[in-house]
Amino acid sequence: MKVRVETLERTTLVIPEGRLDFSAAARFQQHIEQALTGRDAAPAALIIDCAALEYVSSAGLRVFLLAARASQRAGIAFALSALQPAVREVFELSGFSRMMAVHTDRDAALAQLPSGPVYKERHAVVANDAAELPTLTRFLQEFWSAAKLPADAALPFELALEEAFMNIVMHGAPAGTARVEVSLVLAGPRLTITIEDDGPQFDPLSLPAPDITAALEQRRVGGQGVHLMRQMMDEVSYQRVAARNQLKMSRQIDR
């Protein structure tokens, strides 16, 4: 596989040609990493133009995923363009086409790049008390308004934030005895909510999924919140970091 890199002002174009299989994945990842850091400065946007990409396997998908995450962390707008039919099918089957901005061609991708800052971040700290829920909802709504995000796209994030916070309140330390830190990070079209608390270890994603096909008398009470979080967000992950619970939820916002 060949890889070309072009620069248009502060946008870097990475152009793979041929087959992106296991043997080519490591070298392609090196090109992406170099493109993200830039020769003199990191780019404002990274577009992978797939017009000449004929084949992609799971090893290649992994590189795309790592590139999208690295771009998000760095505040770099990330997009794909011109997926050929065989490659598009792999992206659709894997769900990747729902996690990343995909445009019909390079010009369309360039036209959709944000004109202003692509990276916005805010933080809030509250006690693990149900009375603080309105504070967090207001925090998210103020962020939403300031970032000029579409009002009709807010509901999934409000719901996911409430469910995650109330899980901490109900299953964590006694009310008011732990700190809950909420971070909102908007990178390009993707918003990530990170919720950390210093209560006892609790992984909400370990709870069994409800049987949504069960009859009324067989339906288990509880477990709906985590199910809604998973369904509303593109990605949800949990880890225990430095004696703190950390839950991350992210979703792409269509403007």
117-172: per-residue pLDDT in tens?
445 788 999 999 999 999 999 999 999 988 889 999 999 999 999 989 998 998 88
pLDDT reading at 212 higher than 60: no
Question: pLDDT-based confidence at 216, cuts 50/70/90?
Answer: very low
pTM of the predicted model as reported, rounded to 2 decimal places: 0.52
Q: What is the 3-state secondary structure (H, E, C) of the chain?
A: CEEEEEEECCEEEEEEEEEECHHHHHHHHHHHHHHHHCCCCCCCEEEEECCCEEEECHHHHHHHHHHHHHHHHHCCEEEEECCCHHHHHHHHHHCHHHHCEEECCHHHHHHCCCCCCCEEEEEEEEECCHHHHHHHHHHHHHHHHHCCCCHHHCHHHHHHHHHHHHHHHHHCCCCCCCEEEEEEEEECCEEEEEEEECCCCCCHHHCCCCCCCCCHHHCCCCCHHHHHHHHHCCEEEEEEECCEEEEEEEEECCC
Q: In this structure, which long-range contacts are made by residues 102-109, counting pairs with CB atoms below 8 Å and at least 24 apart in sequence?
A: 103/79, 105/51, 105/81, 106/13, 106/47, 106/49, 106/51, 106/81, 106/82, 108/81, 109/47, 109/49, 109/79, 109/80, 109/81
**How many Å apart are CA 229 and CA 162, to the nearest integer?**
9
Which is more confident, 119 or 189? 189
- What does the mean pLDDT of the chain come to? 86
Question: pLDDT-based confidence at 19, cuts 50/70/90?
Answer: very high
Amino acid, res. 124: A
Of 12-26, 92-106, 214-228, the range with the highest mean pLDDT is 12-26
28-62: per-residue pLDDT in tens?
999 999 998 876 677 888 999 999 999 999 999 99
**How many Å apart are CA 35 and CA 77, to the nearest integer?**
13
**How many Å apart are CA 94 and CA 199, to the nearest integer?**
35
